[in-house]
Structure 1
């Protein structure tokens, strides 16, 4: 029965699963590719002949879904990245690493992004936001999708015996197997969500509000304000809180050496969850600083409150920018 279902609906299932995964739904497509590859190895006469069509369908579905996020990044810029940041179950630091990885390698990162958990979260819409030509995007994203799909099918062929045993166990469970899979996915998503919620709850009392920071900046001595957004995010949103110093949390020793421990320090980033700012505040306190707080809501909350921002200079040309990447777009 399982053989008949895979032979008849397997390609359609792979297409739908790959499309849903690329659109950002919590339905990983790699297990489906592995299962289909295993069934193809076990039944080469019937299912094996569908390997190439399934590979093409998986690549097409992946590129189609990614194209939606690409154009969302192209037309909505930083707003799309903020939406993904809110929806992501990953820490903000992971998001920042993705931004920096894209900033270093440009559109070429799309050839491997599907193989690195979390990397494709922002790399696809960022390609649109920074002005990568759609033709270059499709070429690199298509190569990445082909590598990803080929790897999944190949792994399925190599572990076909083990997958056969696992599918047999699910087959014996019957319809209950679907509930088992759904329960495992729900448990995983729930665990990630609860962990992130617990982390955010710890930050509630250890933050400074926009109005409080604005009042402090009008007095003496004014606090030190550190902007720790990635360079890539600053290119998309080329403005800062007036008087803020650009800082990189990876160079913590330089920051510690540049300021006195008795100075009040306020740190802000861009992602709404402020985990990066809270992490750096914690490190500075551990280094001997007495009064360090992240800004509640980051720079977005500052702008939403109607406070003034200062412009950052944009680069006049594309010199030194990664291959396939054009001038950045402001949000």
Structure 2
């Protein structure tokens, strides 16, 4: 029955599955490619003849879904990344690492992004937001889609016998197997969601409000303010709160060595729930600083309240066309 189903509807099912995953629906696409590769190896005379069309369909489905995110990044810029950060089950710090990875290697990262969890969903809209030409985007995204799709089909072909055994066991279990698979997927999603909520709860320390910070600045009691957004975020939003200093939450030694432990510090970022800022504040508290607060709402809340912002010097506009983003030196 499975053989007949794959032979008749396999290419269409793979196309729909890969397209849904590329658009961002929580459905894994790799299992369908692995399954088709296994069926092609076990039935070369029937399913095997559809291997090349399935590879092409998978590539096209990936490009269609990725193009939607690319265009969203191109049209809405950093707002697309904020939306992804809010919806993603990944830690906000992981999203920030992805931004830095893209900033280091440029659009070429799309060739391997599918193999790195979380990298693809951020790097694709970022390519659009950074002004990468669509032709350049398609070139590297096509390479990545071909490598990713081909890898799934090859894995399925190599482990065809083992996969066949698993399906034979599942066939004996009947509907129980399907229920187990669904239950495992739901448990995994719940686990990721719970981990994120635990992180938010753990870092739910005190915050300084925008108006409170503005009053300190107006009274001449400006605290030391650290902007810890990634360089890529600053390119998309080249403004800062006046008087801010750039800092990296991964490198706290200089801050620890420069400021007295009773210095008032305010940290802001552009991530939901101020996760990165709260994490850095926690690290500084553990280092002995007694008055460290994340700014509630970050840069967006400050600007949305009508407070003054300062343009970064020598920062090209984010809508500029970029043929290639060359990798930086290590």
TM-score by length of 1: 0.93
Q: Does 1:251 align with 2:251?
A: yes
1:314/1:32 Cα in 2 relative to 1: closer, same or farther (>3 Å)? farther
- How large is the RMSD of aligned CA atoms in angstroms? 1.9
Q: Deviations over 1:43-75 (max 9, x none)?
A: 111111111111001000001100000000001
Aligned partner of 2:216 in structure 1 is 216
Q: Does 1:293 align with 2:286?
A: no
TM-score by length of 2: 0.93
Unaligned runs of 5+ in 1: 327-331
Aligned partner of 1:106 in structure 2 is 106
Aligned partner of 1:127 in structure 2 is 127
Bigger Cα displacement from structure 2, 27-36 vs 308-317? 308-317
Tell whether the 8 Å contact from 1:103 to 1:322 is kept in structure 2 after alignment.
Answer: no
Matches within 5 A, 1:161-310: 161-310=161-310
Bigger Cα displacement from structure 2, 78-87 vs 187-196? 187-196
**Shift, 1:323, TM fit:** 6.5
Matches within 5 A, 1:58-77: 58-77=58-77
Bigger Cα displacement from structure 2, 128-137 vs 23-32? 23-32
**Secondary structure, counterpart of 1:266 in structure 2:** strand
Tell whether the 8 Å contact from 2:235 to 2:316 is kept in structure 1 after alignment.
Answer: no
Tell whether the 8 Å contact from 2:73 to 2:80 is kept in structure 1 after alignment.
Answer: yes
Q: Distance in 1 between matches of 2:15 and 2:316?
A: 43
Tell whether the 8 Å contact from 2:268 to 2:294 is kept in structure 1 after alignment.
Answer: yes
Unaligned runs of 5+ in 2: none
1:116/1:313 Cα in 2 relative to 1: closer, same or farther (>3 Å)? same
Q: Does 1:24 align with 2:16?
A: no
**Shift, 1:32, TM fit:** 1.2
Q: Distance in 2 between matches of 1:273 and 1:36?
A: 42
Bigger Cα displacement from structure 2, 3-12 vs 143-152? 3-12
**Secondary structure, counterpart of 1:293 in structure 2:** strand
Moved over 4 A (4+): none
Give the total of aligned pairs.
324
Bigger Cα displacement from structure 2, 4-13 vs 107-116? 4-13
**Shift, 1:174, TM fit:** 3.1
